Structure 1
C-alpha cells in the first residue's frame, strides 16, 4: 500500500484450532457432554466479541444517507432484515436516516438470536457477506480508508478467520478405545463374537463389508454398555455440530495408529450415528480422520501403513469425498521418550520424507500436523528453523502444529512478540522450498549417529536400577500431584507408575526440574564422538549446509547450555542407593562431556550455543536464582521423605511451589 499506492487483498492463510474439550485420549473427564459444551462456549465467546466490536463500529459509522449514495445491495439487505428481524422500537426510529447504523443494528440482533440458540437466523457466511456490503458501500462513497485501516477492516478479517466457531475443535481418541467399542458393537449386534482376536486382514474385510452395508448395527432402542454409549455419544455431538456449524469441527485424530483397521473403525462408529453413508459410488463423511504416528516403530512403519490405507477401496472413496486431502499427525514426545533425542529426530525426518513420497505416488494432497511440545525434547525450539529443516518433498505451503499451554504466554501474551513469532513461521513456510538441501550422502552418517545414540540412551533407561534412581532423584512424585496437565500423568495408576506407563510430558518435566534436561541432548556423547574422529570434515559440512542437521545440533547444544550438572549432582543425595545414584549420574555426565567436545569441534565454537550471545547472557543471569530454587527443592523433598515436618500439608504446598518456581526459572515444563 505505502510504496505502490495499491491495496492487495491477501487471502486468509492462518487459522486456529483447539484440543481443549476435544482431546479425550487418556482423560476420562473429557466426555461427550464436555465436548458439546466446549463447542457452545466457543460460539458464545466469539459472538460476544462480535457484538462488542459491532457496537463500537456502530458508534463510528454515523454517516447520514443525505451525505452518501446508499448502494442497492445495502438498501435491499436492510429491507430483507426488516422482514426477518425485529428491532427495538427506539432503534428503528433512532437510525432511520443512518443506513450503516441501521444495518449494524440488524446484524447485532441476528447475532444475539444466534447466541441464544436461534441458529437458523444467521451464519458466518451471511455475516461476512453483510460486512462486505458495508465495506463496498463505504468504498463507493470514497471512504476506503475506513475499511482498510478502520474497525470494519479488522472485523472483516476476524469474520474470515474465526467465523461463528472461534477455533475449530479437534477430537482425539486412542485407537484402543475405538477397537473396544467396535468389538462391543459387533457382539451386541451378533455380527462377530471376538473382533479383537481377528487378524488384521480379517478385520479389514469385516469392516469394509459393514461400511458398505447401509443398515445400522444396533437395533433401535437397545441398551449398550457405558463405554460404547459414550463413544457413540461423541460421534452424535460431531454430527450435530456439523449440521449447525461445519467449520466448528476440526479433525478426528486417532492416537497410537498401528493399523489400517484403526482408521476404518472410526468410519464404522460414525456410520452408526448417521455420519457415514454411501450413495452408489459416492461416500458422505464430512470429517478428516488423522492417523497419529508416535513411537519409533510407528514412524518406521508409517509408509507401509499409509500404502495399505490408500489402497483400501473404502478409504479411497472417503478421500475422494475430502478432495483427496489427507492430514497426518506426527508425535514428537513419545518418540523421544522411546528412542532418545537423536533417534527420534531422525525417525521423524525419515517418516516425513516417506509420507511425502507415498502421498505423491497416490495423488493425495498432504498436510502434516506436527505435535510439537514446548521443550526441545518434545519437538520445541525455534519453530522457523525446524520448518526449514523439513524434507523438501513435504514443503507444499500447508502445515499444522501445536502450541502447548506452557509456551502460549511466552509467545502470544504480548502482541509484538506474537506478531514476530507468527511472522517467523510464515516466512519459514514461504522460503523453505528454496532452502531445502539435497540430503544425498548424509543419510548414512545420520543412521550411524541415531543408532549409536539410541543404544546409549536405551542402556541408560533399561538399566535395572535406573527407574528407582529416577523416582528417587527427581520430583516426579510431586509433579504427578500438580493440577496442570490435560490428562493424568500415568496411563495406569499413579501409585504404581513405571517407565512404560509414565507419559512423555511429566517424563521430560522431571528431567528439566533437576537440570539434567536429558531428553534434549542425551546420546550426543557416544553418537557423535566416534563420528567426529572419523568424519569431522563431513560433519562440519553437514552443519553448515544441511538445515536439518543444523537444527538438531543447535537444539541439542541449546539444551546442554541450559543444563546445570553441578546442581543436578545435588539431587543424587536423594537416591535410595547412594552408589547407584552416583553411578548413573556419572554415566550422564560422561555422555554430556563427550557430546560437548564433539559439538564444539563440529561448530567451531568455544562454548555451547556461543553463536547466540544474548541467550548465553540470559542463562547466566537466571542461573543464580534458579540454583537456589533447586537447592530449596532438594531440601524440601528430603524433609518430606524423612517426615521431618509436623505440618505435612504446608510442606506439600512448599514442594509444589518449588516445582512451579523452577519451571518458571527454566521457562519450560515438560
Structure 2
C-alpha cells in the first residue's frame, strides 16, 4: 500500500537497469495514485490525506535521487473519485509536492463537461495553469504546520474507523446488491468495466469496481463515499476541545478547505427522502439509519467548523445549479426506485430491469459528476 510506497520506489531506483531506463526518459518518473479505490477502501478523509502525504513523501524520494516526479492523477467526476473543483485541488498542494507537470485521466462523463466545447476546454486548462502558477509564485501559502498535521492525522484515523465499521456491517454488501443500481452498471455502456470483478455470484467487497460503487451511492442520493466518517471525526475532535483549531484548519489550510467544500457538494446532492421507505424494511432499516445519521452529523459538523448557515454557502451559483439539476432529475429517480422495488416481484421483471438500466443514463448526466 501507500505506507510502503517510498521504500518501494527507492528500491526501484536502486536497480541499475531501471536507472538506465529512466535516464533514457530524461530522468522522469510517472507515479499514479488512485483516488477511486483509495476512497472505496479507506473512506473520504483517510484516502485523501494519505494520497496527499504520499505525494509529499514520493516527491522527496524522487528529489533525493535527482529524478523528476510526475503525478498521474486518476480523477473521476465526484469528490469521492478525486473530482470536485480543479483549481482548488491543485492550488492547495504544498511546496513539498512535485507540481511542475501533471497528468490526468478523465472519465467519459467529465470529458464532456470539461472539454466538450472550446470554451470549456479553455476554462478548464486555465484552471490547471493558474493553480500551478499560484503554487509557484506563493510557495509558502500552503505550508501545513505540525499541529495541523496532527489534527488531520486524527481526523483521518477516526473517520477510517467509522468507515471500516460500515464496510464490515453485515448488511453493507446486501444493501448495495438489493437496494442500489450496482448490478445494472454492467448492462450499460457508461463504463468499460463490469460492475464488479470476478464472475462469482457471491459479491465480496474486493469485487467492487470504484465507478459502479461510487455511482450506485450517487443513484441512491446517499453519496456515502463523499462524506461518511467526516461527521463522526469532527464531532470527536470538537468534544475534545478542538473547535477553534478546526475552524483555523478550515480557514488556513487549503488542502483541508478543499476537502470540506468538496464534501459539502456530496452532502448537498444527497436526498434521503428518496429512500426513506427503507426505514420500514425490517432487514435494512438499521443500516439505512446508520447512513442517515452520519449524513445529518456530517452536515451539522461541517456547518459548525465553517461558520456557514447552509452547505456551499460561498458558492451560490454552483449551489443553485445543483439544486436545479437535482429537482429536474427527481422524477426519474423515483421511477428508478419503483423499478428496483418491483423487479424482485417476478411480474414483468424484464420491463423493470430495463427501466432501472435506462434510468442510469439520465441520472448520471443530470448530476454531471456522479460516476
C-alpha separation between the residues in 1 aligned to 2:353 and 2:299?
37
In 2: Cα distance, 1:494 partner to 1:478 partner: 16
Partner of 2:143 in structure 1? 438
Corresponding position of 1:279: none
Once the two structures are superposed, residues 433-481 of structure 1 have per-residue CA deviations (whole angstroms, 9 ceiling, x without a partner) of 3154211221110111001001000101111222112211111122232
**Residue number among 507, 521, 530 corresponding to 2:213 in the alignment:** 507
**Which residue of structure 2 lines up, in the alignment, with residue 348 of structure 1?**
51
Return the alpha-carbon distance in structure 2 between the equivalents of residues 391 and 301 of structure 1: 21
The alpha carbon displacement at 1:571 in A equals 5.2
Q: 1:511-660 residue pairs with structure 2 within 5 A?
A: 511-533=217-239, 534-570=241-277, 578-645=281-348, 648-660=349-361
Cα distance in 1 for residues equivalent to 2:113 and 2:20:
43
Instruction: Determine helix, strand or coil for the equivalent of 1:442.
Output: helix
Q: Deviations over 1:218-254 (max 9, x none)?
A: xxxxxxxxxxxxxxxxxxxxxxxxxxxxxxxxxxxxx
Whichever of the two has the greater Rg, that structure is 1
**Distance change in 2, residues 1:517/1:351 (3 Å):** same
- Per-residue displacement from partner, 1:155-177 (whole Å, max 9, x unpaired)? xxxxxxxxxxxxxxxxxxxxxxx
Alignment of 1:275-286 (within 5 A): none
The whole-number CA distance in structure 1 between the counterparts of 2:360 and 2:2 is 33
Maintained 8 Å contact 1:514/1:571: no
SS of match in other structure, 1:371? strand
The answer to whether the 8 A contact 2:95-2:142 is kept is yes
In the TM superposition, residue 619 of structure 1 has moved relative to its aligned partner by: 2.6
TM-score, normalised via structure 1 length: 0.53
CA shift digits 1:110-157 (9 cap, x unpaired): xxxxxxxxxxxxxxxxxxxxxxxxxxxxxxxxxxxxxxxxxxxxxxxx
CA contact (8 A) 1:571 1:634 kept: no
Which residues of structure 1 form unaligned runs of 5+? 1-297
Q: TM-score normalised to the size of structure 2?
A: 0.94
Structure 2 unaligned regions, length at least 5:
none
Change (3 A) 1:570 1:667: farther
Pair 1:580–1:449, CA change in 2 (3 A): farther
Aligned partner of 1:458 in structure 2 is 164
Deviation at 1:494, TM superposition (A): 6.2
Distance in 2 (CA, whole Å) between partners of 1:449 and 1:656 is 38
Q: Secondary structure at the match of 2:76?
A: coil
CA distance in 1, matches of 2:53, 2:68: 19
Paired residues of 2:227 and 2:263 also in contact (CA < 8 A): yes
2:18 to 315, 318, 341: 315
**CA shift for structure 1 position 431:** 1.3
State the Cα RMSD in Å. Answer: 1.7
